[in-house]
Structure 1
């Protein structure tokens, strides 16, 4: 195994021989063997160990063992203690997920602070098979069946070509000591149940299970890469980006084959789970929406519009005192300038009679029932009707601002001014207001 590891580093991970490496070591056989292999391959590395304080004295014993291991290998060691149970409770997640978040967050913080080039973990083929089965049981897309990535940004897993049996055989052959985690013998957790009960049954059916799994997963990865290439070719035809988010062109989506699968691939990173509802948006009425925990997908005429779910602070009002020159908005800015006459015109510019204004002006989002007196028209008009006439999408409506004097609308920003504040020949002062991105 040592020779195979060295050859693997030389052919697949040559950067490990020249970089500064952080090796995650729990004390179990997999990570301890990885540390020994790195030492024998003359890799410049340090050890990082997490004490999750889940097994009392046993956890403290793991930490003490790691300090001795680092001393024996003559490498630097970093340890960190976590209150994992409290973190899991506060975050509302499982102990396993909490430990994973704490572990990787600390590894990346340590890496950034001390300039480690790569973080090594001791995942192997058996871990990959267990992850595959977990994802399969819970339900997943093709990506969830392609397994643990050998490289994921700074995290590298150089033992992915080796099995747990090979690793344990190497440890026994070289008289390498390790720590046994007593919780690994319990079927309380899903991963352990799969490892201890399900995989042995599968190996009874097929003694070459790991080889068969490796071949199957190779085919799945090829299929996934093919799908990614296909999505890459379609992306520019379907997706466009603007200041509000992303637009997906319904006409193209309806013409291509496998629309459901394409929608899933385009939107999978935004947390949606109700994929039938997402697909049904294509035929839904304008204004229909589907939400994830962080985003929403809106049917708007010929498009599906993807935006972040707006928060309450997006409805903040601004008070603009007399003499203010620039007001910064979440999307753009307003500029105020005193001028002698009307010059350049356009929907992004409003000229108002300053003597008709009551300061401070109020800049706010539109509300249901808002009305104004459009310049050039007699009578009132609902703001909602103006939006409808201008064919604004929901995000565009939500990001529309009203400039108000007291309770009266002066300007629907970047759209239309109110005639009550129009400049006349007798206006002593003219205020030019400009909207720009």
Structure 2
């Protein structure tokens, strides 16, 4: 049944199947080894079907990561299969430079390797072993983060020449196949650690939800994600139509210009998708939280046409709102010789700062929400978290003055000057 499911999927996705060249992403874990085993059987059935194995060593788990690489290499030798190995030796440094969580940085490095493999094998398709269980975990995790439709659509079954043929199958189906065919695999010990949000969802939250919703919950969540992906495809078509007509790009300065008048004429439900797409095209690769997108929409369609408002994004980009256009790029368009200011803050809310200083946003968060965001790498680059009990409103925010100092944590009470 599993092999038939994979074959049906490939027939739908690959023109000319089974005459195809497949790159199979194999970590050595249960899911990827089952996928490889099934594809190897199909390759025997169809001599024109070619399979190569790709493995990426993130070098994040010490000797365990090297052992996994050796396991995959040994299996490929036994099966006379070609193996392509990628090495991710600088992921922690890339994480710091790009402001990503460790999981995001690892994924970025892994898919860059996959893309290089596909570029070298221009007629090939790359297959990963994501399952309906992975999909359910991703949807729930994004729901807890407050993601919009793009988060709730989860993992796509296809992205370019990357295919995921197991996405409609639950992990228990994968386990049953592995038992029936004695498929060897390695166990990643970090999959049992409750230090990771995904593992707590997998081992604690999902079992509780299944007691209420039934054992087929994962497949229902996966089907819901597929439906949302289809809806988003329609939205994306509308977004691309707007971008092609009303967005300009200065390649020399790497700045993107959005016609603000035309943006304000769009449906309110389409605005966050247009803004998110424009920010992506400008070079920001970090997924924006829903509340940040909501703030940017309010800035973009605000009626104060005389003010110049700026919002700092990830990847050293600024979102600058002018009377007739929005500029997304690396310049802040700061006003020189700013005047000193004092701003009264009565409570939580969003407060535009004078003279293009940006936006101050204050909100109360539950401790659990803070923990989820920090573990997911969604803590804002230009934000700070304070103990709410140590703050009392109203507050007064003022501009920098010569001689201002602060006392950083971990410096034994020594003070440090605040730079302008």
Which interval holds the TM-score relative to the shorter structure? 0.5 to 0.7
1:265 paired with 2:309, answer no
Q: Per the alignment, in what secondary structure is the counterpart of residue 187 of structure 2?
A: coil
1:83-102 to 2 correspondences below 5 Å? 83=89, 86-87=92-93, 90-91=96-97, 92-102=99-109
Offset, 1:127 = 1.0
Specify whether residues 97 and 242 from structure 1 end up closer, same or farther in structure 2 by C-alpha distance, changes over 3 A only: closer
Q: How does 1:183-194 map to 2 (within 5 A)?
A: 183-194=190-201
Question: C-alpha separation between the residues in 2 aligned to 1:107 and 1:45?
Answer: 15
Cα deviation, 1:283-307, whole Å, max 9, x if unaligned, reads 1233412332354444443x23324
Q: Distance in 2 between matches of 1:15 and 1:84?
A: 39
Relative to structure 1, the CA distance from residue 242 to residue 206 in structure 2 (aligned partners, 3 Å threshold; closer, same or farther) is: closer
**Aligned with 1:247 (options 237, 250, 258):** 258
- SS in structure 2 at match of 1:118: strand
Bigger radius of gyration, 1 or 2? 1
- 1:20-419 → structure 2 map (5 Å cutoff): 20-42=21-43, 43-83=49-89, 86-87=92-93, 90-91=96-97, 92-115=99-122, 117-207=124-214, 208-231=216-239, 239-241=246-248, 243=250, 245-250=256-261, 252-258=262-268, 261-269=269-277, 270=279, 271=284, 273=292, 275-282=294-301, 283-291=303-311, 292-293=313-314, 294-301=316-323, 303-310=324-331
8 A contact 2:321–2:327 mirrored in 1: no
Is the Cα–Cα contact under 8 Å of residues 286 and 299 in structure 1 kept in the other structure? Answer: no
| C-alpha distance in 1 between matches for 2:35 and 2:70 | 18
Query: Using a 3 Å threshold, how does the CA distance of structure 1 residues 60 and 142 change in structure 2: closer, same or farther?
Result: same
Q: Secondary structure in 2 aligned to 1:17?
A: coil
Contact 1:88 1:98 in 2 (8 A): yes
State how far apart, in whole Å, the 2-side matches of 1:234 and 1:60 are: 48
Give a deviation string over 1:63-105, Cα, whole Å, max 9, x none. Answer: 2211121123221012234335643564353332232122122
- The verdict on how the C-alpha distance between 1:298 and 1:127 changes in structure 2, with shifts beyond 3 A counting, is same
| Preserved CA contact (<8 Å) 1:25 1:48 | yes
Normalized against structure 1, the TM-score is what? 0.63
Q: Relative CO higher for 1 or 2, CA cutoff 8 Å, sep ≥ 6?
A: 2
Contact preservation (8 Å) 1:22, 1:116: no
* CA pair 49-289 structure 1, distance change in 2 beyond 3 A: same
Report if the CA contact (8 A) 2:299-2:321 is conserved.
no
Q: Which runs of 5+ in 1 are unaligned?
A: 313-366, 369-393, 395-437
Give the gaps of 5 or more residues in structure 2: 44-48, 338-355, 357-420
Taking structure 2 as the reference length, the TM-score comes to: 0.66
CA contact (8 A) 1:281 1:289 kept: no
Q: Deviations over 1:342-367 (max 9, x none)?
A: xxxxxxxxxxxxxxxxxxxxxxxxx9
CA separation of 1:45 and 1:116: change in aligned 2, threshold 3 A: farther
Paired with 2:122 and 2:229, the residues of 1 have a C-alpha distance of: 32
The Cα shift of 1:168 comes to: 1.1
What's the Cα RMSD here?
3.0
| Aligned residues between the structures | 310
- Structure 1 residue 218: deviation in Å? 3.9
2-structure distance, mates of 1:225, 1:166: 29
CA deviations over 1:308-361 (Å, ceiling 9, x no partner): 22399xxxxxxxxxxxxxxxxxxxxxxxxxxxxxxxxxxxxxxxxxxxxxxxxx
